[in-house]
Amino acid sequence: MHIPPLTADQLAHYHREGYVILPRIMDDATLEAIRAEEARFRAHRLARDPASANQTMFVSQVCPYSEPVRRFCASGPHLGVASQLVGTANVALWFNQFVTKNPDGATGRSEFPWHQDNGYAAIEPATNVTIWVALDDVDEENGCVWVMPRSHEQGLLDHRRKSEDSWHLTLNVEGDGTPAILKAGEAVAFTGLTLHRSKLNHTDRPRRAFFMEYADATAGYSRNHEPLQPLIGNPNTWVVSGAVPIPGTF
Ligand SMILES: O=C(O)CCC(=O)C(=O)O
């Protein structure tokens, strides 16, 4: 599958609005392979924890466990676009995750509240991009992602825990934002500073998604305001395009 480079208009939209809708980035065969991996993890999770049937399933840092996932993240046809969005030839994959929003039923728990990805782990410089790929057709009914246009202009905002019994971080946001309505295999790309969220899944089927975060391979990261660490050297981080300087200690 070939994905043409983003046009100047698409790139300008990304930098101005903080997001851009991408065309299809997973072909049928890849979509099936990645869906099969999602099903494998979901079955495993369900066997371990039957209550997870009604909860959102998050499976992070999947590459060590899955060749199809690793192949897509590290050499998928979207890497040229990822490099354009990050703005450098030297790009690192540093995070990836399945997010399966199971049917909410009447629990009201399938919401993922407003946040910036850098609110969970700050990347510096914050030129990182999240590429969120729909594994099913997604819309307002089954809990698509919503982005808040131009919110990245505010820089990194203060997040707080949603509630004592939740690990979600969030903050007050005025307005509804824009739904990223996608067909399976299409994606939305947004900056690490772009406010986004997803609402409830009102259907009776899981809403499956997979996302990857790419950053300048020389960037650093910090969780909980701890000192910045180089991304490279973190066992989950891989250069997927270009190279980084070799440390003196090698
Ligand atoms: O897939 C979703 O519903 C949103 C996930 C998300 O925003 C995140 O994990 O940071």
Q: Give the model's pLDDT for residue 167.
A: 80
Percent of the chain predicted with pLDDT > 90: 82
Contacts of 74 (CB under 8 A, 6+ apart): 63, 93, 238, 240
- For 81-116, write each residue's pLDDT tens digit: 999 999 999 999 999 999 999 987 777 778 899 999
**CATH number (domain holding residue 109):** 2.60.120.620
Residue 19 lies in a domain: yes
Q: How far is the CA of 134 from the centre of ligand 1 (A)?
A: 11
Domain total for the chain? 1
Of 181, 217, 183, residue with least CA distance to 82: 217
Q: Quick one: average pLDDT of 110-128?
A: 93
What sign does the dihedral 142-145-148-150 (CA atoms) show? negative
Q: Work out whether the CA dihedral 179, 185, 186, 188 comes out positive or negative.
A: positive
Local confidence band at 170 (pLDDT 50, 70, 90 cut-offs): confident
| Atom 8 of ligand 1, nearest CA residue | 117
Determine the residue of 97, 99, 104, 196 to mutate for testing ligand 1's pocket, defined as the one with the most ligand atoms within 8 A of the Cβ atom.
Answer: 99
**Distance between CA atoms of residues 104 and 120, nearest Å:** 24
pLDDT: is 109 or 241 the higher one?
241
**Is 196 touching ligand 1 by the criterion CB < 6 Å?**
yes
Residue 77 belongs to a domain: yes
Average pLDDT, the chain: 94
Tokens encoding 184: 């399976």
Does 247 reside within a domain? no
**Residue 246 domain-assigned (yes or no):** no
Distance 83 CA to ligand 1 centre (A): 22
The Å distance, Cα 112 to ligand 1 centre, comes to 6
> What is residue 171's predicted lDDT score, i.e. its pLDDT?
84
Nearest-CA neighbor of 114 among 198, 201, 14, 20?
Answer: 198
Q: Name the closest-CA residue to atom 3, ligand 1.
A: 198
The reply to whether 180 falls in a domain is yes
**Pairing mode of beta strands 122-124, 112-115:** unpaired
* Structural domain includes residue 141: yes
In a domain? residue 45: yes
Quote the domain boundaries for residue 17. 8-241
Looking at this protein, which amino acid is placed at residue 147?
A: V
Distance CA 227, CA 247 (A): 19
Instruction: Give SS3 for 87.
Output: coil
Question: Residue 1 falls within a domain, yes or no?
Answer: no
pLDDT of residue 69: 98
| Amino acid in position 13 | H
DSSP letter at 158 equals P
Ligand 1 atom nearest to CA at 132: 1
Higher pLDDT, 83 or 250: 83
User: In the prediction, which pLDDT does 5 show?
Assistant: 97
In tens, the pLDDT along 17-39 reads 999 999 999 999 999 999 999 99
